[in-house]
């Protein structure tokens, strides 16, 4: 594909990511309006860079004409939660939306990856309206706690730095860090009630200012 063709190919994916960021951030604002604790802490999104699309297509043996169906994460949205239990809640909320059709789920929380990676992945079909009509695209939504996100972000950059071959001594550290991240989630879940009460008081206070 040439530069202009890539631009045209990626445009609806950009639109999907931008739309979903607004819509999913809206959930948090609605909770804030009602003064209740939001199950979502923050939302990010990105369109996969062309170089990563090409790398992944090569690695998975996907032909260029099959990219739309073969690569499920060209459009990616990430939703961060404070507590592990919020993830299940957010997943159900997404399943009940009528602007998304969930077609696949990957639970890397129950089934942690060997690397130590934990996160809940949903693949959805999402319709964008273009001047040529409606286009249904695949988007990947990753839902994780702040602690899972911290670990994954760092591991991702180390993987990049070492081109996928992280030295063994660092791998061991990362495994330990993954266990620590897991414990952090466990500990926070134990005092969830306390934390949420404190946050509710704090948000009422800052509202008055
Ligand atoms: P990026 O830069 O995040 O876009 P595969 O890529 O073969 O492992 P598949 O079938 O595409 O997997 O789907 P999966 O596993 O649901 O999603 C892959 C994405 O999940 C990755 O995207 C990462 O975002 C995240 N992920 C999966 N495993 C790991 C891991 O061990 N560590 C980290 N940090 N992230 C992980 P990409 O394409 O790798 O890159």
pLDDT tens digit sequence for 144-166: 999 999 999 999 999 999 999 99
Q: Look at residue 209 in the predicted model and tell me its pLDDT.
A: 59
Q: List, in order, residues 6 or more apart from 149 with CB less than 8 Å away.
A: 78, 80
Taking 70 as the pLDDT cut, the residues of the chain under it are 207-209
Q: 94 C-alpha vs ligand 1 centroid, how far in Å?
A: 20
Tokens of 53: 């699309």
What is the spatial order of strands in the sheet that 75-81 belongs to? 42-47, 75-81, 133-145, 120-130, 101-107
| Angle CA 186–188–194, to nearest 5 | 140
Q: Look at residue 107 in the predicted model and tell me its pLDDT.
A: 98
Q: List, in order, residues 6 or more apart from 35 with CB less than 8 Å away.
A: 200, 203, 204, 207
Q: List, in order, residues 6 or more apart from 65 with CB less than 8 Å away.
A: none
Q: Look at residue 208 in the predicted model and tell me its pLDDT.
A: 65
What percent of the chain is helix, strand and coil (3-state, nearest 5)?
55, 20, 25
Tokens of 158: 């180390």
- Which amino acids are annotated catalytic? 140
Instruction: Work out the number of other CB atoms within 10 angstroms of the CB of residue 121.
Output: 19
On whether the pTM is more than 0.90, the answer is yes
What is the CB < 6 Å shell around ligand 1?
Answer: 48, 52, 56, 73, 76, 106, 113, 115, 117, 121, 152, 155-156
Q: Give the separation between CA 143 and CA 146, rounded to whole angstroms.
A: 10
Helix (H, G, I), strand (E, B) or coil at 73: coil
Q: 118 C-alpha vs ligand 1 centroid, how far in Å?
A: 11
Mutate to test the pocket of ligand 1, among 77, 91, 156 (most ligand atoms within 8 A of CB): 156
Q: 196 C-alpha vs ligand 1 centroid, how far in Å?
A: 31
Q: 56 C-alpha vs ligand 1 centroid, how far in Å?
A: 10
Mutate to test the pocket of ligand 1, among 57, 111, 152 (most ligand atoms within 8 A of CB): 152
Q: Look at residue 92 in the predicted model and tell me its pLDDT.
A: 97
């Amino acid at each position: 594909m040439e530069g202009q063709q890539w631009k045209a190919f990626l445009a609806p994916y950009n639109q999907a990511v931008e739309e979903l960021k607004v819509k999913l951030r809206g959930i948090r604002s609605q909770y804030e309006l009602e003064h209740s604790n939001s199950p979502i802490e923050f939302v990010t999104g990105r369109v996969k860079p062309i170089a990563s699309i090409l790398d992944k297509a090569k690695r998975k043996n996907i032909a260029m004409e099959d990219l739309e169906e073969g690569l499920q994460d060209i459009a990616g949205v990430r939703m961060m939660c404070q507590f592990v239990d919020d993830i299940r809640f957010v997943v159900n909320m997404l399943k009940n939306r009528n602007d998304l059709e969930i077609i696949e789920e990957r639970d890397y929380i129950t089934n942690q990856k060997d690397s130590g990676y934990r996160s809940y992945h949903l693949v959805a079909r999402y319709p964008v309206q273009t001047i040529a009509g409606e286009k249904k695209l695949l988007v990947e939504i990753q839902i994780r706690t702040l602690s899972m996100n911290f670990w994954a972000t760092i591991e991702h950059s180390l993987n990049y730095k070492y081109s996928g071959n992280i030295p063994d001594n660092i791998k061991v550290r990362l495994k330990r860090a993954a266990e620590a991240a897991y414990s952090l989630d466990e500990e926070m879940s134990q005092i969830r009630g306390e934390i949420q009460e404190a946050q509710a008081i704090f948000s009422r206070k800052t509202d008055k200012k």
